[in-house]
Amino acid sequence: MRKKETSDVESSCCSVIHEDVVAEVRKKMPDETVLLDLADLFKVFGDSTRVRILCALLRAEMCVCDIAALLGMSKSAISHQLRTLRQTRLVKYRREGKVVYYSLEDEHVGTIFDQGLVHVSE
C-alpha cells in the first residue's frame, strides 16, 4: 500500500507555479558554496566506520589505539578515517606527550549525531 501512495504522489500533475512561495524560499536559500559544503559534510556520515568513530567519540575522548581496539580495526584504517573527520571539522585532537587524543570538534557534532539517531529510530 505504501508503494501505491508514493506512486500516486509522484504522478500528481502540478501546473501552477506559486510565484510568491518560490520567491520567498529563493530569498532564504543559502549560497551555493554553503550548500556544497553541507553536502560534503553529510557525505562524511555516509561511511559506517566514520559513524562508528563519531559514536565512540560522542562518549569519550580516545586515542587511535583505543578506537582501533573498540572497533576491531587496524590503527592505520582508523587514522585514515580520522583524517577525513578532521578535514571536515567534525573531530579535533590534542597531544599529550606522544599520545594524540581525539574528540568531537564541538557540541554541534554531537547534536547532528543525536538527531540522526532519533530520526532513524522513529
Return the exposure string of 23-54: e unless at least 16 CB atoms fall within 10 Å of the residue's CB, then b: eeeeeeeeeeeeeeeeeeeeebeeeeebbbbb
**Nearest 10 degrees: CA dihedral of 34, 38, 41, 47?**
-150
* Residue indicated by cell numbers 505504501: 2
pLDDT number for residue 89 = 93
pLDDT number for residue 13 = 72
pTM for the model stands at: 0.80
Per domain, the residue ranges of the chain are: 29-121
* Beta bridge partners of residue 81, listed in sequence order: none
Give the 3-state secondary structure of residue 100. Answer: strand
Dist. CA 5–CA 96, nearest whole Å: 57
User: Mean pLDDT of residues grouped by 10 in the chain (122 residues)?
Assistant: 53 83 96 93 94 97 98 97 96 96 96 92 90
**End-to-end Cα spacing for the chain:** 20
CATH code of the domain made up of 29-121: 1.10.10.10
